Amino acid sequence: MYLRFGFVPTIVVSSPAAAELVLKTHDLIFAGRAHHQAAKEISYDHRNVVFAPYGPYWRNMRKLCTLELLSNLRINQFEPMRRAETELFVGSLRRAARKRETVDISARVSALIGDMTCLMVFGRKFADGDLDEKGFKAVIAETLQVAALPNISDYFPFMAALDLQG
């Protein structure tokens, strides 16, 4: 089904056969995505593997990520850290269960993922006071909020000059 959200053409795929056509047979035609203002700001004008348009730059970024960041060697280097963090996580759940405390699993898993990611990237946990004093958590939360909220000017470009959403 073809829809238009403002000036943005949108296709809704509602059957397995159509999904196979879009994702396998004609994947290069549908490889791009609409450019959003928030993505442009967050990713330095679409200069990362997530928001870059499909093309030579994206293919090179993907290759770099696959060979350098997501290789078996790199993944295996962080295995002891992942194991230790998972053991700490399970231990905290056991302690909470013994005390019959209510646990927000979603929040705890998010914190675990944040800790593991920060340990791999910065060598420190997400919850470390040093990172938090610099407003790291607030920046991450704001970035996720900005990236998730659609901007009216993404759908009606002539409204971008009005900057209605700041």
The tens place of each residue's pLDDT in the chain, 166 residues long, gives 889 888 888 889 999 999 998 888 888 887 777 777 777 777 788 788 888 888 899 899 999 988 888 899 989 999 999 999 999 999 999 999 999 999 999 989 988 988 898 888 888 886 666 666 667 777 778 888 877 777 888 888 888 888 777 6
Q: What is the pLDDT of residue 100?
A: 96
Q: H/E element holding 67? A: none
The encoded tokens of residue 7 equal 């000036």
The encoded tokens of residue 165 equal 């959403």
Q: What is the pLDDT of residue 107?
A: 87
CA gap 34, 157 in Å, rounded? 12
Q: What is the pLDDT of residue 133?
A: 62
Q: H/E element holding 80? A: helix 79-98
Contact in structure between 8 and 34 (CB atoms under 8 Å)? yes
The count of residues in the chain is 166
Q: What is the pLDDT of residue 150?
A: 78
Q: What is the pLDDT of residue 51?
A: 81
The encoded tokens of residue 109 equal 């898993």
Q: What is the pLDDT of residue 127?
A: 64
Q: What is the pLDDT of residue 16?
A: 94
Q: What is the pLDDT of residue 92?
A: 95
Phi, psi of 29, rounded to the nearest 5 degrees? -65, -35
Q: What is the pLDDT of residue 151?
A: 81
Query: Could you tell me where the beta strands, DSSP code E, fall in the chain?
Result: 2-5, 8-11
| For the chain, counts of helices (H) and of strands (E) | 9, 2
